[in-house]
Amino acid sequence: MSTDSSISYHHDSAIDEKHAKALQFILDMTKNADSVQQKVLAEILAQNAETEYLRRYQLGGSTDRDTFKSKVPVVTYEDLQPEIQRIANGDRSAILSAHPISEFLTSSGTSAGERKLMPTIQEELDRRQVLYSLLTPVMNLYVPGLDKGKALYFYFVKSETKTPGGLLARPVLTSYYKSDHFKTRPYDPYNVYTSPNEAILCPDSFQSMYTQMLCGLYQREEVLRVGAVFASGLLRAIRFLQLNWRELVNDIATGTLSPKITDPSIQKCMVPLLKPNPELAEFITRECSQEKWEGIISRIWPNTKYLDVIVTGAMAQYIPTLEYYSGGLPMVCTMYASSECYFGLNLKPMCKPSEVSYTIMPSMAYFEFIPHEPSSASLTRDSPPPRLVDLVDVELGKEYELVVTTYAGLYRYRVGDILRVSGFHNSAPQFHFVRRKNVLLSIDSDKTDEAELQNAVENASMLLREFNTSVVEYTSFADSKSIPGHYVIYWELLVKDPSNWPTEQVLNNCCLAMEESLNSVYRQGRVADNSIGPLEIRVVKSGTFEALMDYAISRGASINQYKVPRCVNFTPIMELLDSRVVSVHFSPARPHWTPERRR
Ligand code: AMP
């Protein structure tokens, strides 16, 4: 086990005591990872001993790891569905947690097409806040002077609903931005945002983005970092600027606010900022009217030291585009978190995206790891389940699936993320985010699996019946070059009567039918967030998939075991497919989506 002690903990007087304390906290947690984990588990089990769920497993008051592991099963969301449904329906008894469930956090992971509902409790907000409070002190170790300017961060809230039993259900970041922790945060010179709370909290994504962009433009010289939670969000902001700069320039030139901004709280908070600034308007016009947008971020915000966006996992597909628009600014991935639990942070924030490792903070929850053998598909049904290992027992270079036990009442819950151990910080392992299990396609926070894609293709192909046509093969591709990105589905058709070829309109409608069949996070991205573009079907010549198989076999695939890949991104394969495209179709409308759940 190597020990990473490269972070120096000596601090000069300029760094305020709060930051020094945060670094000390990281040191304490990572040095004592195992004992912290033991304590966390004991606390969770003691706190929730009388819950219906834990009583079921007869722990008899034990709070030690061995008893816990031998009695409590490892579960998935689907296993907890009955309990979650009862809570959603209004059962307030202590089912999972001794503390009252304060709200549901809606995950971007779905179950039966709807966002998973993660129960949470009030005190979890404080725990998340602890993790947030560590980010700036770590950043200060690497980038000096962040207190000398501002952060242009594009943050958004999403719609919230109520469960039948009256509990709020909303994404974790929406919950956080609406909490007092965020809204009434004390002034901190290291965390001054250009975006007013009113803009961040505006539920209309256009008005929110418009205002945040306008504020960013007005304060362009003060901006030291530009960011969004995910890379896709920052690219959406760039696209927004491309589409709306003329209107923004008009506001800046005249010192007025576009009539499209109707939210009274935004109108009010913008008054002091809105001053006619013809020079700035001229500058932005000059930059934005250029054909090439290469380096636009550093041209408009010349003092930007880095981009603060997650570009690990599914977001890695956006690295080249972000490099293009930023002129190669460093990209910083600060933390790894989910609706279930906030996990940890990146202690070397200035490293290259491909080298990002997250150190799980042992105080956040109790963590276990299922060894993940890439070949586990070949294990027989009877082979014993792999033994789960503890946080400090994971081995360098190995891959694991993350399992959490939280204060809010998830016990041995499989998150679905695959992580690889890339090193240790003191005794705490650091993880490279490998991927989320079972995700075939992802553009923003949407996650589409193979079964969902299959179902969508089946539903859409119903429209082809009247043309005596079927889809014989298909594959897919997440096109992140367009902004927003979109799904591309390659279809090979069997048209039994060539004189009755499916019409253009019907094939367009097949795109929409596929979108209607995809999960609610996808449809929300299409409808409310504008983060996903219209789905595209590319019809390929008959025989294309055979050529694809020939290609795979020529590269060593076994004929017997060959399966059509349901998602592709390898350039030669894309070229093979694209060279055989006979027609291209886009969804003509947005699919149906409302914040309400279907079930
Ligand atoms: P959600 O449940 O919608 O909050 O999504 C949480 C999931 O997003 C995690 O389980 C990961 O799969 C993914 N995720 C969160 N943070 C990161 C990160 N820093 N890098 C890669 N993937 C992440």
- pLDDT tens digits, 246-296: 999 999 999 999 999 999 999 999 999 999 999 999 999 999 999 999 999
- Span from the CA of 261 to the centroid of ligand 1 (angstroms): 32
> Do residues 415 and 402 lie in contact, with contact meaning Cβ atoms separated by under 8 Å?
yes
Tell me the mean pLDDT in the region 119-146.
96
Ligand 1 pocket, 337 CB below 6 A?
A: yes
- Specify the DSSP class assigned to residue 540: E
Residue nearest atom 16 of ligand 1, based on CA coordinates? 336
Ligand 1 pocket, 109 CB below 6 A?
A: yes
- Span from the CA of 203 to the centroid of ligand 1 (angstroms): 22
Give the model's confidence band at 597: pLDDT under 50 very low, under 70 low, under 90 confident, else very high: confident
Tokens representing 83?
């309990």
- Say what the pLDDT of residue 402 is: 98
Give the model's confidence band at 314: pLDDT under 50 very low, under 70 low, under 90 confident, else very high: very high
Residue nearest atom 3 of ligand 1, based on CA coordinates? 108
Give the model's confidence band at 8: pLDDT under 50 very low, under 70 low, under 90 confident, else very high: very low
> Do residues 265 and 208 lie in contact, with contact meaning Cβ atoms separated by under 8 Å?
no
Answer yes or no: is pLDDT of 146 > 90: yes
Give the model's confidence band at 564: pLDDT under 50 very low, under 70 low, under 90 confident, else very high: very high
pLDDT digit string, tens, across residues 496-523: 999 999 999 999 999 999 999 999 999 9
- Span from the CA of 350 to the centroid of ligand 1 (angstroms): 20
> Do residues 486 and 535 lie in contact, with contact meaning Cβ atoms separated by under 8 Å?
yes
Percent of the chain topping pLDDT 90: 92
Cα distance between residue 456 and residue 580, in whole Å: 23
- Specify the DSSP class assigned to residue 107: E
Ligand 1 pocket, 108 CB below 6 A?
A: yes
Ligand 1 pocket, 333 CB below 6 A?
A: yes
**Average per-residue pLDDT in the chain?**
94
**What is the CB-side half-sphere exposure of residue 504 using CA atoms within 13 A?**
3
- Say what the pLDDT of residue 380 is: 52
Report the atom number in ligand 1 closest to the C-alpha of 333.
19
pLDDT digit string, tens, across residues 585-594: 999 999 999 9
> Do residues 196 and 151 lie in contact, with contact meaning Cβ atoms separated by under 8 Å?
no
- Span from the CA of 443 to the centroid of ligand 1 (angstroms): 13
Mutate to test the pocket of ligand 1, among 338, 413, 435 (most ligand atoms within 8 A of CB): 338
- Say what the pLDDT of residue 2 is: 39
- Span from the CA of 109 to the centroid of ligand 1 (angstroms): 9
Distances in Å between the Cα of 141 and the Cα atoms of 165, 344, 428 are 47, 18, 20
- Span from the CA of 441 to the centroid of ligand 1 (angstroms): 15
Answer yes or no: is pLDDT of 381 > 80: no
Residue nearest atom 6 of ligand 1, based on CA coordinates? 338
> Do residues 520 and 593 lie in contact, with contact meaning Cβ atoms separated by under 8 Å?
yes
Report the atom number in ligand 1 closest to the C-alpha of 402.
10
Q: Omega of the bond prior to 137 within 30 degrees of 0, cis?
A: no
- Say what the pLDDT of residue 382 is: 60
> Nearest Cα to 400, choosing from 429, 440, 439?
429
Residue nearest atom 20 of ligand 1, based on CA coordinates? 312
Distances in Å between the Cα of 443 and the Cα atoms of 10, 231, 278, 339, 352 are 42, 10, 38, 19, 22
- Span from the CA of 374 to the centroid of ligand 1 (angstroms): 21
3-class DSSP assignment, residue 15? coil
- Say what the pLDDT of residue 317 is: 95
Cα distance between residue 259 and residue 153, in whole Å: 24
Residue nearest atom 8 of ligand 1, based on CA coordinates? 338
Percent of the chain topping pLDDT 70: 95
Answer yes or no: is pLDDT of 323 > 90: yes
- Span from the CA of 319 to the centroid of ligand 1 (angstroms): 17
Answer yes or no: is pLDDT of 377 > 90: no
Answer yes or no: is pLDDT of 379 > 70: no
Give the model's confidence band at 13: pLDDT under 50 very low, under 70 low, under 90 confident, else very high: low
Cα distance between residue 231 and residue 312, in whole Å: 9
> Nearest Cα to 200, choosing from 247, 276, 263, 132?
263
Residue nearest atom 23 of ligand 1, based on CA coordinates? 336
Cα distance between residue 73 and residue 82, in whole Å: 16
- Say what the pLDDT of residue 378 is: 47
Measured over the CA atoms of residue 449, residue 452, residue 454 and residue 456, the dihedral's sign is negative
- Say what the pLDDT of residue 374 is: 65
- Say what the pLDDT of residue 386 is: 77
- Say what the pLDDT of residue 16 is: 79
What angle (nearest 5°) sits at the alpha carbon of residue 231, between those of residues 105 and 22?
A: 65
Report the atom number in ligand 1 closest to the C-alpha of 172.
4
pLDDT digit string, tens, across residues 427-477: 999 999 999 999 999 999 999 999 999 999 999 999 999 999 999 999 999
Answer yes or no: is pLDDT of 373 > 50: yes
Ligand 1 pocket, 445 CB below 6 A?
A: yes
Residue nearest atom 10 of ligand 1, based on CA coordinates? 338
Report the atom number in ligand 1 closest to the C-alpha of 334.
19
Give the model's confidence band at 186: pLDDT under 50 very low, under 70 low, under 90 confident, else very high: confident
Instruction: Find the length of the chain.
Output: 599
Mutate to test the pocket of ligand 1, among 174, 431, 436 (most ligand atoms within 8 A of CB): 436
pLDDT digit string, tens, across residues 204-227: 999 999 999 999 999 999 999 999
Report the atom number in ligand 1 closest to the C-alpha of 445.
3
> Do residues 489 and 500 lie in contact, with contact meaning Cβ atoms separated by under 8 Å?
no
pLDDT digit string, tens, across residues 328-369: 999 999 999 999 999 999 999 999 999 999 999 999 999 999
For residue 70, count CB atoms less than 10 angstroms from its CB and return exposed for 0-12, middle for 13-18, buried for 19 or more: exposed
Ligand 1 pocket, 176 CB below 6 A?
A: no
pLDDT digit string, tens, across residues 226-236: 999 999 999 99
Listing DSSP states for 325-355 in one string gives HHTS--EE--EEE-SS-EEEE-S-TTS-GGG
- Say what the pLDDT of residue 383 is: 65
- Say what the pLDDT of residue 7 is: 42
